[in-house]
Amino acid sequence: MAKAFASQADLEVKKVTWTKLSENAYAYTAEGDPNSGVIIGDDGVLIVDTTATPAMAQDLIAKIRSVTDKPIKYVVLSHYHAVRVLGVAGYEERINVIASDVTRGMIVERGQQDMESEIQRFPRLFQARETIPGLTWPTLTFHGEMTLWLGSREVRIIHAGRGHTRGDTVAWLPKERVLFSGDLVEYGATPYCGDAHYTDWPGTLDRIEALGATAIVPGRGDPLATPDQIRKGLGGTRGFLQDLFGIAREGVAAGHDLKTVYDRALREMRPKYGHWVIFEHCMPFDVSRAYDEAKGIDNPRIWTAERDIEMWRALAN
Ligand SMILES: [Zn+2]
């Protein structure tokens, strides 16, 4: 029998923290599980990333209701991954679901496969998965960048460039200087790179760093609310990507096979990054994609439930 995915044995329930970052911005974080962000405008509420299931969304709604009774009007999808988007059906029926045009293209191209694959990999993250009615479809897409006015509150929604996926979107409050980065930035959590563009990701980080945020809600991990935390979040993410892609490029140039590159990456990266959550879970996917990109495959190959198992058998045993 195949060894279970590292994450299938990860059953410990995480503690949720609800942090106020500015007068109208909040972080919903959970010790390295996927985060959400909340922006409260004059006339309604915007959520960045929905939680994984409609049942799980109820806890986020309860946190929002502890600070406002304004209607929840918008959801922004930072990217297409199931664990970020499938909670949408837990909100008001006529909620607007905003995504970059590129993210919508990824849902068309690989949303179904990703949903099946993510649920298999990480069952704990999909509590009450029977409440998921199916894929989440954006109702409003944009190209490049859009601005949403929640009354007098300006929210810029920016397709920042390729990185964690090719559709990565951030939400930015220019007046409050609060940034919701999605999985482009992680803090104390291992970046998942199965759909990544390693060559482009650091440049995308430079672009969002140039916004000059004083607080960042990362994709996973605690909010970054001091200059030192922001430097560590951005620098740590960048360092991980560069270390791993460097190993993959050297391995491909030397003609090594995937397993050899994987073993070296684990050996060399574990001392530096092994304490980050989901390290063991991410590495097989991250090395597989790094190896492909180093070989010149531009569009990440689609992960399916079957491909996951094949890859895990080949690398992790
Ligand atoms: Zn993701």
DSSP per-residue letters across 200-235: THHHHHHHHHTT--SEEEESBSS-B-SHHHHHHHHH
| pLDDT at res. 9 | 64
Strands 96-100 and 17-22: unpaired
Residues of the chain with pLDDT under 70: 1-11, 317
| pLDDT at res. 304 | 93
| pLDDT at res. 207 | 97
Give residue-wise pLDDT tens across range 193-224. 999 999 999 999 999 999 999 999 999 999 99
Separation of alpha carbons 228 and 244, rounded Å: 24
Query: How many other CB atoms are there within 10 angstroms of residue 290's CB atom?
Result: 26
| pLDDT at res. 115 | 95
Taken in order 118, 119, 123, 126, is the CA torsion positive or negative? Answer: positive
| pLDDT at res. 94 | 86
Ligand 1 centroid distance, CA of 81 (Å) = 5
| pLDDT at res. 12 | 75
User: Which residue(s) pair with 170 in the sheet?
Assistant: 158
Query: How many other CB atoms are there within 10 angstroms of residue 302's CB atom?
Result: 15
Q: Where does residue 136 rank: exposed (0-12), middle (13-18), buried (19+ CB within 10 A)? A: buried
Ligand 1 centroid distance, CA of 42 (Å) = 30
Q: Where does residue 213 rank: exposed (0-12), middle (13-18), buried (19+ CB within 10 A)? A: buried
Ligand 1 centroid distance, CA of 85 (Å) = 10
Is there a contact between 29 and 19 (Cβ–Cβ < 8 Å)?
Answer: yes
| pLDDT at res. 180 | 98
| pLDDT at res. 1 | 36
Long-range contacts, 9-17 (Cβ 8 Å, 24+): 10/122, 10/124, 10/278, 10/281, 11/124, 13/124, 16/59, 16/63, 17/222
The one-letter amino acid code at 280 reads: E
| pLDDT at res. 2 | 45
| pLDDT at res. 13 | 79
Ligand 1 centroid distance, CA of 84 (Å) = 7
Ligand 1 centroid distance, CA of 155 (Å) = 22
Instruction: Calculate the alpha carbon distances from 178 to 73, 100, 143, 171, 192 in Å.
Output: 20, 20, 22, 8, 23
Kind and range of the H or E run holding 33 = strand 33-40
- Give the chain's length: 317
Ligand 1 centroid distance, CA of 183 (Å) = 5
| pLDDT at res. 4 | 59
Instruction: Calculate the alpha carbon distances from 175 to 70, 162, 205 in Å.
Output: 21, 26, 20
Ligand 1 centroid distance, CA of 80 (Å) = 7
